[in-house]
Amino acid sequence: MLKNVVLLALPGVAPFEFGVVCEVFGIDRSESGGPCFEFTIATADSGPVRTSLGYDMMITEGLDAAAHADLIAVPAHDTSNIDPRYFDVIRAAEARGAWVLSVCSGAFALAQAGILEGRRATTHWMHTDRLAAEFPGTTVDPDVLFVEDRRVVTSAGTAAGIDAALHIVRKELGAAATNVIARRMVVPPQRDGGQSQYIDSPVQECTSDSFALVAEWMLEHLDEDLTVDQLARKALMSSRTFARRFRAEMGTTPAAWLNRQRIMRAQLLLESTDYSLETVAQDTGFGTAAVMRHHFLKVLQTTPTAYRRTFGALLAG
């Protein structure tokens, strides 16, 4: 189980990406029913570490603190002249099966350490071409918020680090723990879509409450068979206009968004109730346990039964 988290503060560390990791893993949320991690910030030489904005942070722990970490996190940093001692820590973590997370340009430290060879990865869209050119053994996906490949998680730029970090929490501790953190951070537990929606053109702002109201209504009626035509009528739009605007504003299709919400609702029911699989499937709009199992395998790479066995036990404990 994920308990010990170590954040590596490399020279030139970006404060926002650094803060993302601190916010997800560094705050005790046990009073709210959330997790409390053993959280340490470490650097190669304890003392002042210069940030990308020109001020110093005082880091007191050295890299020995990372020796037994369950997760090593590497936020964005100056990618030139990286101290090879960081590579040793990253390689050791990957070799013992710990999680390794990079945020934004932190992927370059992972790549230089050699652990992205033969893996899929991503980074900020401004740097994906460079990552692919410098490390041809890595399959770089420029159109995703994050990638997990065998416990190595790389995220796109800035706020995508939140998505990647919450993904690890979800895999280790389940949806309920993730929702506690997300609620406190006032962010979605899981976003759909990819970073391509942020390239070249800005994200369109919703000019009315139509989509907020329709999304709320969809969540209240997940157990029903919802169609695009029905949702379009709720939004007072044509079906074609609704589907186009929904994808532009939500980053995915109405059907894919519904499917993700149904999976998340099913995760919570599997964790927190003893409902039968058929009841959970009906209450979440999948209809049958077989259909729900298909979607769990496709999206979560596990079955509802296995998910309950893991996270229902964690919740009970």
**Token pair belonging to 133:** 């050119």
- Rounded Cα distance, 251 and 244, in Å: 10
What does the pLDDT read at residue 144?
A: 84
pLDDT at 196: 43
Q: Is the pTM of this model over 0.95?
A: no
Question: What structural domains does the chain harbor?
Answer: 4-185 (3.40.50.880), 206-317 (1.10.10.60)
Say what the pLDDT of residue 190 is.
Answer: 61
- CB distance 90 to 113 below 8 Å: yes
Residues of the chain with pLDDT under 50: 196-208
Predicted pLDDT at 198: 39
Determine the pLDDT at residue 300. Answer: 82
Average pLDDT, the chain: 89
Largest Cα–Cα separation, the chain: 61
Give pLDDT, residue 59. Answer: 98
Q: What was the pLDDT predicted at 246?
A: 86
